[in-house]
Amino acid sequence: MRRAILLFALIAPFVTAALWSDSVVAAIGVLFVSHMLILYPTLRPTAQWLGPVLTSFETKDKQIWLTIDDGPDGKETPRILDLLDKYQARATFFVIGKRVKQFPEETMEILRRGHQLGNHSMTHPSGTFWCLPPGSIADEIDRCTDEIEKATGQRVTLFRAPVGMKNLFVHPHLKRREMKLIGWSSRGFDGVRTDTSAVVESILKDVRPGAVILVHEGRYDSLGNSVNYGMIEQIVRRLSGDGYSFVIPAETAFVYGRRKMNR
């Protein structure tokens, strides 16, 4: 699909030029479609058109995968780790390279507690990652990987794009590095929303066995109080009470694209 989109994008200007004298509307239409074929899978996090994006995993049990973005954080990461210990839950932390450099001990502690690390870019350029050129994409991925390895001695194989948006260059870079792009199936926009109840209910309504939950850490209000911790606590407590376990799935269980998950 990616190659077809690229091919169409390359020939679209020539088709547009050929059609221009006969039908301006048709000519503009071809150009518009070529742009939309690139823009849609770029801006839609779960779209598979540019390459595989994990959105769930296979399981016969009531298991879910909790993924936590934007850390580590000096104050919040230790609290989250204690919370996960309390419920015997495991999670994957998609960390930002510059924060790993700032909090190497917290990064290492994530592994010590039995959790997993993933690459969430070096600087988290949320507004521009989707339109960065190839060299900048590679730099964001590689520098984050290097910082994680410096802090922990471990090389990560999972990547989540900032805001989930990727462009034509992301998958080729990941393939060469033997990394996989991880999306989600359940989120509540806790990276921007502050209403705990609304965020939690939004996430829980999409939870099924095999679901991938996206939450964030490291946000504070004007008084210095954590915005995300209470959301994560409610999600873990309520789902644990419903009989769910939080696991880190094997890569052989990964599912790319949407599927109907068991209730």
Q: Roughly how many angstroms between the first and final C-alpha of the chain, as a whole number?
A: 31
The residue from 115, 120, 173, 216 that is catalytic is: 216
Contacts 24+ apart (CB under 8 A), 225-233: 226/75, 226/76, 226/79, 227/190, 227/194, 228/76, 228/190, 229/76, 229/79, 229/80, 229/83, 230/196, 231/188, 231/190, 231/196, 231/199, 231/200, 232/68, 232/80, 232/83, 233/83
How big is the CA angle at 60 (ends 55 and 64), to the nearest 5 degrees?
Answer: 45
Task: Reduce the DSSP state of residue 257 to 3 states and report it.
Answer: coil
Place of tokens 């359940």: 186
Residue 69: active-site member: yes
Given 35, 69, 142, 171, which residue is catalytic?
A: 69
Active site residues: 69, 216
